[in-house]
């Protein structure tokens, strides 16, 4: 059974743990850098990207997260997690982890009160996936090695670059585990 870590600093950690378990993998909440060596894949949950960055720095995770992503082990960033993975962020001088060749715009679908749910066609996952958008970013630009898996109103909302998967929404906030199962399968294939 593959072991998938969920970065447990801030955000929808418990919901991702349930989705991983519901997809037939073992879930481990990652609170210490040394735990990264024990997992096969990692989820960076949705939450608040600025807060998450402060906690990543406070607990000295940054270099280890970059090494993990560069090792070829799969990493899945949802919402704020996508922002952490992006090489470029609109309006910001520097990236966070910066391992995915995309440019993202934070809160591009509006504030909390503009949250919505939309059924998406996600290549390789489902043509009817219930996507929950909460203060969601979107991918403004994607590099040539980035595969676009879904759009919403002409905005890129799901993309994959090799072992890195990112989405604008919160798949963990539904009881539909098909997207998490897609990531679990990426982890199995990488192992």
CB-based contacts of 18, cutoff 8 Å, min separation 6: 27, 172
Q: Which of 16, 96, 138, 170 is catalytic?
A: 170
Contact 38, 16 (CB under 8 A): no
Whether residue 172 lies in the annotated active site: yes
Say what angle helices 62-70 and 49-58 make with each other, to 10 degrees. 100
Q: How far is CA 96 from the centre of its chain?
A: 13
Q: Which of 79, 105, 138, 167 is catalytic?
A: 79
Whether residue 167 lies in the annotated active site: no
For the residues of 34-71, what is the DSSP string, one character each?
GGGGG-SEEEE-SS-HHHHHHHHHHTT-HHHHHHHHHT
Whether residue 170 lies in the annotated active site: yes
Q: Which of 15, 152, 167, 172 is catalytic?
A: 172
Report the length, in residues, of the chain: 191
- What are residue 160's phi and psi, to 5 degrees? -135, 135
Active site residues: 79, 170, 172
């Amino acid at each position: 059974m593959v072991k998938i870590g969920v970065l447990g600093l801030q955000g929808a950690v418990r919901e991702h743990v349930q989705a991983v378990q519901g997809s037939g993998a073992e879930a481990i909440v990652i609170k210490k850098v040394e735990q990264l060596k024990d997992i096969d894949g990692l989820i960076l949950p949705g939450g608040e990207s600025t807060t998450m960055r402060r906690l990543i720095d406070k607990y000295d995770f940054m270099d280890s997260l970059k090494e993990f992503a560069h090792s070829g082990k799969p990493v899945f960033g949802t919402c704020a997690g996508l922002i952490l993975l992006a090489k470029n962020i609109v309006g910001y001088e520097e990236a966070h982890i910066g391992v995915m060749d995309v440019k993202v715009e934070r809160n591009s679908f509006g504030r909390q009160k503009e949250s919505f749910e939309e059924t998406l066609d996600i290549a390789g996952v489902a043509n009817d996936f219930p996507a929950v958008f909460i203060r969601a970013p979107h991918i403004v630009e994607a590099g040539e090695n980035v595969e676009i898996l879904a759009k919403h109103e002409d905005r890129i909302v799901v993309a994959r670059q090799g072992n890195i998967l990112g989405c604008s929404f919160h798949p963990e906030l539904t009881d539909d585990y098909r997207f998490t199962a897609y990531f679990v399968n990426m982890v199995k294939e990488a192992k």
